[in-house]
Amino acid sequence: METKLESRVRQTRVILNSNYAAAYAVRDADVDVISAYPITPQTGVVEKLSEMIAEGELDAEMIHVESEHSALSAIIGASAVGARVFTATSSQGLEYMHEVLHIASGMRLPLVMAIATRALSAPISIWNDYSDLMNVRDTSWITFIASTAQEVYDSIIEAYMVSEDPRILLPSIVAYDGFWMSHTYEPLYIPEDRKTVLEMLPRRPRYTLDPDNPITMGSIVNPDWYYEIKYQQVEAMKEAYRVIREADAKIEENLGRVYKPVESYLAEDSEILVLTYGGIYGTLQTAVDLLRSEGLKVGALRLRLWRPFPARDLKTLVEDAKTLIVVDRAISYGASIEGPVALETIAALYREGLYPTIASFIAGIGGRPVSEDDFRDMVKKALELGERALKIGSIHWGVRGAEYE
């Protein structure tokens, strides 16, 4: 992300964690209905929103529910009658929502959800990884992965812009690292006057449940038409890429911040590129500086957009590199390459006709810190293994006793 010094909208500098940044974005988007169930590390988002509603800063309905399954169901109902809605969750909460995630996207409702990512039980871990998010990649939700509190704020505004676009009408997820971001205070800029945000988010007509003009939603569909209706989602998800780029341009124009589906740092002349996602991108950039000072031509890439997958952007950035290292924070058990983003990246590059040497690493599982030194050592390990790296599958970084030969 780059920040331009001047933006159309006047902004104020605040110190917030990513949970609170999400809450401020929801407030500024003038959301009508919120429903959520508390789970660490997401709870701060809805705590803050409850406070805002109590203090009259936000005129919204907060529906208290007994589970995440109900939280998502409640906002599906509210969205179906035309409300702008929001929920947030983590880990098991997202898993408990799973079947409803498909219903939300299948009904083409423009919901927005924040996810403070967290490892999955068992064993119980409240700490961060991306296993929860990766499990919902096939639910037809547009998925952004932010790397700063600023980006969490901007992405939630952008998510409403994209989801509510009549060409799209799919729900969106804005994910960020549980704890590493959800509980980290850092500076960001937010608009002084929320009217300027609302100008970016006009209420647009869509099909809603209205007793005066009755329609039916969520009906059964026989095999003769079901596939065509699901194919509409395939097309909407592809189209979402273009609409996201338009929204990126509007964010740049109004708020002065530049976002791309794949962010890059010193990638242009790099022979070695490291691709990752979420908050550790900052740590990776520091590691790149370290490696450059040692004479290695290394650059960093960050996947900001997970669904739809930005295959072409990745191609353009990787084209001139010899080695691509993918650092995942989730495990696809039993897969040929166990890092989910590595798997997807390899498929995308094959599609685009690029065949760099690829190494897949998995790190940071269950909240284990990933430092600059870890990234440096991963790069060195990948260079040492060369073509052999991918034969291993994925390298489980720092696991005691794990051997690869």
Q: Provide, rounded to whole angstroms, the least separation between the CB of residue 221 and another protein.
A: 5
CB 48 within 8 A of CB 114: no
* 3 state SS of 264: strand
Among 4, 54, 187, 193, binds another protein (CB under 8 A): 187
Q: What is the DSSP string of 50-61?
A: HHHHHTTSS--E
Within 348-377, the residues that bind another protein by CB under 8 A are 367, 369-372
Q: Is 12 in the site for another protein (CB under 8 A)?
A: no
Q: Is 180 in the site for another protein (CB under 8 A)?
A: yes
Among 183, 260, 381, 396, binds another protein (CB under 8 A): 183
CB 178 within 8 A of CB 90: yes
Q: Is 165 left (phi over 0), alpha (psi -120 to 50) or beta?
A: beta
Cα–Cα dist 299/315, whole Å: 15
Cα–Cα dist 388/405, whole Å: 9
Cβ distance to another protein smaller for residue 252 or 372: 372
Q: Provide, rounded to whole angstroms, the least separation between the CB of residue 200 and another protein.
A: 24
Residue 317, amino acid: L
Question: Which of 366, 293, 291, 369 shows the shortest CA–CA distance to 325?
Answer: 291
Element (H, E) at 96: helix 91-96
Among 254, 270, 283, 394, binds another protein (CB under 8 A): 283
Cα–Cα dist 161/112, whole Å: 10
Among 24, 153, 160, 179, binds another protein (CB under 8 A): 179
> Residues of 94-105 as b/e, b for ≥16 C-beta within 10 angstroms?
bbbbeebbeebb
Q: Is 398 in the site for another protein (CB under 8 A)?
A: no
* 3 state SS of 134: helix
Among 122, 225, 334, 355, binds another protein (CB under 8 A): 225
Ramachandran angles phi, psi of 75, nearest 5°: -75, -20
Q: Is 176 in the site for another protein (CB under 8 A)?
A: no
Q: Provide, rounded to whole angstroms, the least separation between the CB of residue 358 and another protein.
A: 25
Cβ distance to another protein smaller for residue 126 or 201: 126
Q: Provide, rounded to whole angstroms, the least separation between the CB of residue 127 and another protein.
A: 6
Among 36, 100, 113, 280, binds another protein (CB under 8 A): 280
Within 313-352, the residues that bind another protein by CB under 8 A are none
Residue pointed to by tokens 């989602």:
233
Residue 230, amino acid: K
Among 235, 253, 320, 387, binds another protein (CB under 8 A): 235
Query: x/- site string to another protein, residues 112 to 141, per CB under 8 A?
Result: --------------xx--------------
By CB under 8 A, name the binding residues for another protein. Answer: 13-15, 17, 41, 106-108, 126-127, 169, 177, 179-181, 183-187, 207, 214-219, 221, 225-226, 228-229, 231-232, 235-236, 279-280, 282-283, 285-286, 367, 369-372
